[in-house]
Chains A and B, each alone.
Chain A
Amino acid sequence: MAEAVKEKPSSFAEVVENCCAQLRRRQIQGSLPCAKRTAEIMRALLTMQRHPDAASLIDDVRAVGYKLQAAKPVELAVGNIVRRVLHLIREEAQTEKSDSEADSNDAVPQGKADGKQDVMKSQGVEHLHANEVILTLGMSDTTYAFLREAARKREFQVVVAEGAPRYDGHLQARKLADAGIQVTAIPDSAVFAMMARANKVLVGAHAVLANGGAIAPAGIHMVALAAHKHSTPLVVLVGLHKLSPQFPHDPDLLYNDFRGPAEVADSDMQARGLPQHS
């Protein structure tokens, strides 16, 4: 019978396989958790296997990186973390310190989480002025954290567009309201109308590409167009793990994370359009 306690998988390959399976099954939701998992795997790679020199380590990291990225190609954060690790390794190799490789890897995941917090604390206050109207769309953890931090020192209003069809704008509005910020929820169709009254637009993104383009949830493009029309400044808030060195013409890059229609439609739809075949 299975043991109640799950033992740690013994081999590194299993760790990777586990992570790949979880990525494929969409059990790891969100860019930050994916990035953290990737960083952990990189760390495990270093601790579990001895590497005589930087070149072999780089090869291993790259191989693992390919596997992980292939598990969920739309999650660019995975690749970004792997590239960062490779960069660190190459840096270390240049300064020729073999022992500190482990340290450099540790720095990566922690650095990310902390970095975001600090940036938000310091810059949030600078970017937002008093009595401003901020427009946002949908749910973004980064935007939420940013606004929450800023609300400690500044008074402003937030207008949240609901972001159909997932309507996670409602969630964002609820959370912001709980944090004491004055929030208005509007339908997506009202974004253009409200843009005239908004001072800034703050959105999150899934990834930021090398040419400055952003991969963002559905609806952000509409917000960006409206902002452009009204010449309203639009700020995209992302963590470091979302910065990708790839260009959008890269054929390996998938722009869309398709899920299933069951979230928005009744699964009986199939039967309504039943074709004539037997």
Chain B
Amino acid sequence: MIEYTLEWLAMSKVEEVFVFCCAHAEQITDYLSQSKWAHNKEMVVTPVVSTSCFSAGEALRLIDQKDIIKNDFVLINGDTVCNINLAPIVEAHRARRQADKSNILTMITKSVHQPLQRLRLGERENVICLDPKNNRLLKFHEAQQGEHEGEGSEKLPPLFKFDAAFFGERDSVQVRTDLKDTQISICAPEVLMLFSDNFDYQSLKPDFITGVLSEEELGNKLYIAELGRQEYAAHVSNLRAYDAISRDIIQRWAFPLAPDTNLLWRGGAWGPTTYRYARGNRYYEQAVTIPRTAHMEEDVVVGAGTSIGENSRITQSVIGRNCRIGKNVDILGSYVLENASIQDGAVLRYALVCDSAVVGPSAVVSAGAVISHKAVIAAGHHVPPHTRVSLCSQVQQEVSLSDDELEYSGAVTAGRAAVGKTKGKKAKQVQQQQQQQQKQQQQKQQSRREGGDSSSEESSSGGGSGSDSDGDSDRAGPLSSSGSEADVLILCSGPSAQAATAAEALAMGHMPDEATLAAAHFDEAAVGKGEQDCADLPGDDEDAEAGAAEMAAAAGAKAAESDSEEEGEEEVTDPESNFKREVSETFLRCVKLRFDQTNAVIELNGLKVELLLTFEEYCSLEGVFEAQGENGKAFAEIFEPMLKIIYDAEIVSEEAILAWADEKQLAEEEEKVFVKKAERFLQWLREPEESSSGEEEDSD
């Protein structure tokens, strides 16, 4: 996807590009160094890597510190698809700047007449007030998500309130609801300075713009540039936008960024793209095998080396290179990436199948499903809508009770992480996982296996899903807004190899590492970075029962989600494992992910008390996030069961919990929140109970 952006910039004769990467930094840097941009003299592309930024604001502050941008610059997301000619807009901006130094920002917007167009792209409605004489931006309001949910979950139109005095101040004000922000802005260096001054600005739209607009006395002015009819600009912020924008590209709205102009360089054995156009918006590359009986309906793109089976029907889809589509396959509105294999009789509806995945014969993949890298769907299996099937990760929340019941809760939080490419957005599943392991470990594995089996095969996780070099598909809130926040994650209890070694090494079962599931396109690094649970062994505290391994893996991967650009932050608690290898790997990954808290957490190993502190810290982090109204909320809800799990898992002893609760009595209000939540549990703890006594054997 970054190719679209870079190609567009090259077309606009931009001379220097800085790609700010955070989450997938090595992948991006590698890709750039191998691509044609590395030796392009007309446009110099420089990656700027940072591991500690989680919002656009941070990124801009870093850039300001590094002082690499000295004059007006264009600020865009890394996944922008557009064909705008920037030159006249930049000229106008410069002219304004010359006239008055306080004209610091020009926001490029596109007028959108159909309200559904916005919905297509998953963008929010907004109201923009302009001064029509010079297009100066006076007010900018965006509908917050969920703000307009009425009673009975009707969608009321968003309500924006304006002060009447505001209208009185000027001769004329244009209030427009049809402008869609393309997230392309031309900024002056003062913008960077403002970001540095106001270090709590996280993102451009809500924070910076409202901040500047409200501080009119500083005199900074923002402007709007409106795009003409022929100019297309869109930015891929979620899976829905990915789909909508792909369709736009196939239907040539973003000309000349159409598939058959072969503008985009793609690596691999086939080299640059060689698409040819056929009527009905069909694009075929070379070496594509399509039998006479196959129906290729409209809006289809088929990559090189792919073969389609007989009687198959493909509509509105994109098939990557080297795919094998079987016979009688029905694909509608789907995206099948490289090397995937869709076997005979399968049905795909509006799904995303990532590279090297396999969809078994007669399987049905329903709308919104994402089959990740290398995942395999068994024959005849029906993948429910909006599910994600992946190899790695999954933090499953299991409450293992002493009666050996495996309770599988698919409840997943609204954890959204944005892993930025330049400033991209990504949604991750964040789940928390507590695992308990006792002698029932075997059984557990079994039950998990059963749980996981129905939808996919197990295979080693670990690195898990690779990411498509083409870019990240982003998924954010809007998807979850389609209803299901509970996404079922399936898969893999982890590397069987690891399990084997575990069994050998300790004669006990081991819970393999599991990472939380990340959304579709993920690379190894991301998964590693993102969410890793570590097998946790209280190393120094081996009880006499060598047979009983205790493991707890508390995975927290979450990210604060921001409007546009934030990076996934990761937190791994208690990496401790007898497998140094795993530990070191995890450490590396953790280290990659900035975060003081993370570091602090890592330092706490082993001891139960420290464990609890860690947990506390984690909780307090949760608290922090909750305060930001972000996905911490989800954690808050499961805080209590989480406590129980930890308790059951004997990670934390009863005394420790009580001690923690007592400590918190003196703490501030916000931290008390968690104590309150755990109140019930604490009550139960305090009561003398026979069942709990058995679990009080941990000693520190």
Instruction: Spell out A's residues near B (CB within 8 Å).
Output: 1-2, 6-7, 9, 14, 17-18, 21, 24-27, 70-71, 73, 254, 258-263, 266-268, 270-272, 274, 277-278
Contacts and interface: CB of A to CB of B under 8 A. Distances in A.
A24 B261 contact: yes
A266 B248 contact: no
B405 interface: no
B113 interface: yes
Contacts of B119: 271, 274
A1 B41 contact: no
Q: Is the interface of B mostly helix, strand, loop or mixed?
A: loop
Interface in B231-263: 231-232, 244, 247-248, 251-256, 258, 260-263
A263 B258 CA distance: 14
Interface stretch (B10-18, B183-191, B514-522, B534-542): B10-18
Contacts of A270: 117, 120, 244, 247-248, 251, 253
B41 A9 contact: yes
A261 B114 contact: no
B666 interface: no
Nearest to A259: B255
Contact of A25 (B115, B247, B256): B256
B350 interface: yes
B368 interface: yes
A260 B253 contact: yes
Contacts of B114: 268, 271-272
Given A27-B11, A278-B482, A266 B113 contact: yes
B41 A260 contact: no
Nearest to A267: B253
B482 A263 contact: no
A236 to B, nearest CB: 26
A260 B255 contact: yes
Contacts of B116: 271-272, 274
Contacts of B248: 267, 270
A268 B114 CA distance: 6
Nearest to A276: B367
Contacts of B229: 262, 266-267
B112 interface: yes
A70 B277 CA distance: 13
Given A21-B263, A260-B230, 10 more contacts: A73-B276, A254-B276, A259-B255, A262-B230, A262-B231, A268-B112, A270-B251, A277-B349, A277-B350, A278-B367
B26 interface: no
B277 A254 contact: yes
A25 to B, nearest CB: 5
Contact of B253 (A1, A14, A254, A261): A261
A18 B42 contact: yes
A262 B350 CA distance: 26
A7 B42 CA distance: 9
A141 B258 CA distance: 28
B530 interface: no
Given A271-B120, A278-B368, A26 B261 contact: yes
B634 interface: no
B326 interface: no
A254 B119 CA distance: 37
B120 A26 contact: no
A147 to B, nearest CB: 30
A1 to B, nearest CB: 7
B120 A24 contact: no
A211 B254 CA distance: 36
A86 B267 CA distance: 32
A112 to B, nearest CB: 26
B44 interface: yes
A274 B120 contact: yes
Given A9-B41, A21-B10, A271-B116, A1 B16 contact: yes
B424 interface: no
Nearest to A256: B277
A38 B467 CA distance: 40
B251 A261 contact: yes
A258 B350 CA distance: 27
Interface in B9-55: 10-11, 15-16, 36, 41-42, 44
B333 interface: yes
Contacts of A263: 230
A7 B114 CA distance: 46
Interface of B: 7, 10-11, 15-16, 36, 41-42, 44, 70, 83, 112-117, 119-120, 229-232, 244, 247-248, 251-256, 258, 260-263, 274, 276-277, 333, 349-350, 367-368, 385, 482
Given A6-B42, A277-B333, A278-B367, A262 B10 contact: no
A242 B367 CA distance: 50
B42 A260 contact: no
A274 B119 CA distance: 10
Given A26-B256, A277-B350, A271 B117 contact: yes
A203 to B, nearest CB: 25
B41 A14 contact: yes
A114 B262 CA distance: 34
Nearest to B240: A278
A24 B263 contact: yes
B185 to A, nearest CB: 21
Given A25-B263, A278-B367, A258 B277 contact: yes
28 contacts: A2-B16, A6-B42, A14-B41, A24-B256, A24-B261, A24-B263, A25-B11, A25-B256, A26-B256, A27-B11, A70-B262, A70-B274, A258-B258, A259-B252, A261-B252, A262-B229, A262-B253, A262-B255, A266-B229, A267-B248, A268-B113, A270-B117, A270-B244, A270-B247, A271-B115, A272-B114, A278-B385, A278-B482
Nearest to B11: A25
Nearest to B41: A9
A268 B227 CA distance: 13
Closest 7 CB pairs of A and B: A260-B255, A271-B116, A271-B117, A2-B15, A271-B114, A268-B114, A260-B252
A71 B350 CA distance: 33
B232 A262 contact: yes
A267 B42 CA distance: 31
A268 B248 CA distance: 10
A2 B254 CA distance: 28
Nearest to A14: B41
A6 B70 CA distance: 20
A37 B276 CA distance: 24
Contacts of B232: 260, 262, 267
A260 B367 CA distance: 29
A274 B240 CA distance: 13
A25 B254 contact: no
Contacts of A27: 11
B158 to A, nearest CB: 18
Contacts of A21: 10, 263
Nearest to A262: B230
Contacts of A73: 276
Contacts of A18: 42
Nearest to B483: A278
* Residue among A7, A17, A261, A262 facing the most chain B CB atoms (10 A cut-off): A262
A271 B120 CA distance: 7
A17 B83 CA distance: 21
A271 B350 CA distance: 17
B352 to A, nearest CB: 13
A71 B275 CA distance: 11
Contact of B367 (A14, A26, A271, A277): A277
Contacts of B11: 25, 27
Contacts of A258: 252, 258, 260, 277
